[in-house]
Amino acid sequence: MEKIVLAVHGGAGTILPTQMTPEKEKAYLNGLEQALQSGFKILQSGGSSVDAVEAAVTSLENNPLFNAGKGAVFTHNGKHELDASIMEGKNLKAGAVSGITRFANPVHVARLVMDKSAHVLLSSLGAEQFALSQGLEPVDNEYFFTQERWNQLQEAIASGDITLDHSGKSDNKFGTVGAVALDLESNLAAATSTGGMTNKMFGRVGDTPIIGAGTYANNETCAISCTGHGEYFIRALAAFEVHARMFYLKESVADSSSFVVLNKLVEMGGEGGLIALDKNGIVSMPFNSEGMYRGYITESGTCILKIYK
C-alpha cells in the first residue's frame, strides 16, 4: 500500500507554558486535528495532495485562533492584509497572493492563480480583481476582526513595535498556518497562509507567498511549509534550502530541515520553524522558538499533535 501522510502547523514562536491553560491548549489542538481530518479525508478517498493541503489550510484559515483568514493580525492602519501560497511537487506548479483584503480564504485565491492563470504571484488589488473574475465571493475586511488581535495591535502601537503575532508580553503566539501532504500517487504538495506581523507597515510582504522561501514542494525530495520571522526565511531561502540539501547533498529530511532551522536561521537571528514531508512519507518538524503548533496524521488515521519540544 502506498503511503498517505498529512502534516500541519499553526505557527511557531514564544508560546509560553505559563500562559497556556488546559482549555486553550485543547482548543488549539482541536483546531489542528480538524485541519488534519479535513485533508486526510481527501487523501483516503484517493484525492490529490494539492486538494488535501488546500482543505487543511482552509480549515485553519476559518479558525479564529490562528493568524490566517479569520483572526488574522492587524496592520498599522487597522486593516488586514493576507498572504498565501500553494505548490505541487509533480510539475512544480505554484500559485501565490500577497496583500489581499477581501477574501475569506486566501489559499483558494492562490490555488486559482496556480490553476487558472499564467502567473505565480499576484498582489493586492490585482489579485483581488483576478479572484473576482474567477467567481470568488468577497467579504468585508471587518470579517477578519477579532478582539484579541485588536488588543495586540494597540499594545504594539503603544510600544512602537512591529511584532510577530506570537511574540510579545501577552499570549500573542498564534502564527502562520500551513500543510504538507503525500497522496496515493506519491505526489507531494505544500500550502501556507498568514496574516503577517502585527502593526506591519508599508505593504510589507513576508516569506509565505514567496515560493522557495516560505513554501516549496518537489516530488524528488520533499514538501515544506514555514512559519516565523519571514524576513529571515526570505534571506535564507529556507524552504528551497531544505530541498537543495536533500537533492544535492543527499541528506535526510530530518537532517536537512534541522540544519536550516537550528543552524542557518539561528546564525542569522531568525526565529521560527517548518514542517517538511519527504517522498517516503517521513515527517520532520523542527523549530528554534519556545514552541510550534504542529501535528501529522498517517494512513492509520492516528493524529500526533504537539506544541512544545
* Domain assignments of the chain as residue spans, ordered by start: 5-306
Q: Which amino acid appears at position 5 of this protein?
A: V
CATH superfamily of 5-306: (Glycosyl)asparaginase (3.60.20.30)
Q: Which pLDDT does position 98 carry in this prediction? A: 98
Q: Which pLDDT does position 174 carry in this prediction? A: 44
208 is catalytic: no
91-141 pLDDT, tens digit each: 999 999 999 999 999 999 999 999 999 999 999 999 999 999 999 999 999
Q: Which pLDDT does position 20 carry in this prediction? A: 84
Q: What DSSP element (H or E) covers 26? A: helix 22-44
Strands 82-88 and 303-306: unpaired
Q: Which pLDDT does position 13 carry in this prediction? A: 84
187 closest CA partner among 215, 209, 210, 217: 217
DSSP 190: E
Q: Is there a contact between 131 and 103 (Cβ–Cβ < 8 Å)? A: yes
How many residues in the chain?
309
Stretches in the chain below the pLDDT threshold 50: 1, 166-174
Catalytic residue among 176, 194, 198, 227: 176
C-alpha cell at 214: 516560505
